Amino acid sequence: MVALPKQLEIGIPSIDEEHKALLSQLNGLFVHPGDTPQSAEFSEALSRLTSELLDHFASEERVMRALGISADRLARHIDAHNAVIEQITELSFDLMRRKSLHRDDVIFQVREWIIGHLADHDLELRGFARPA
């Protein structure tokens, strides 16, 4: 399991754990550099990762509700999750249609879904973490 860099820590343990697990899965995509996005290994790793990411979005939204985050802020964050979900759907259609995709582009996109989203949106939850 990879460590979560300090600058990506939120301070809400359940969310930090899930982010860490997602980063590990992301690293898993780099394991076999020869795999194309269409290979069975790559697409299995990718579908495990995306299903974990969807579960994570749902649990993060539950945590945000429980923390009493304002409706505006919650709606903005859910929109950001939904934008990622749309891209996941698009990517799976492309893969199903056997569209030729470059693995680096796919990994870059997945990285954005996890690390990009974390940096742009999840870090705002820091203010809601209880001091340890």
Site residues for Fe ion per CB under 5 A: 60, 121-122
Q: Distance between CA 55 and CA 115 in Å, rounded?
A: 16
Q: Which is nearer to Fe ion, 42 or 113 (CB)?
A: 113
Min dist CB 119 to Fe ion, Å, is: 10
Q: Which is nearer to Fe ion, 9 or 122 (CB)?
A: 122
Min dist CB 3 to Fe ion, Å, is: 17
Q: How far is CA 59 from CA 17, 81, 84, 117, in A?
A: 12, 12, 15, 15
**DSSP H or E run through 25:** helix 13-28
Min dist CB 24 to Fe ion, Å, is: 14
Determine contact, residues 80/117, Cβ cutoff 8 Å: yes
User: Using CB atoms, what's the residue nearest to Fe ion?
Assistant: 122
Q: Which is nearer to Fe ion, 8 or 95 (CB)?
A: 8
- What residue type is 121 in one-letter code? H
Q: Distance between CA 76 and CA 82 in Å, rounded?
A: 10
Min dist CB 41 to Fe ion, Å, is: 26
Q: Which is nearer to Fe ion, 12 or 45 (CB)?
A: 12
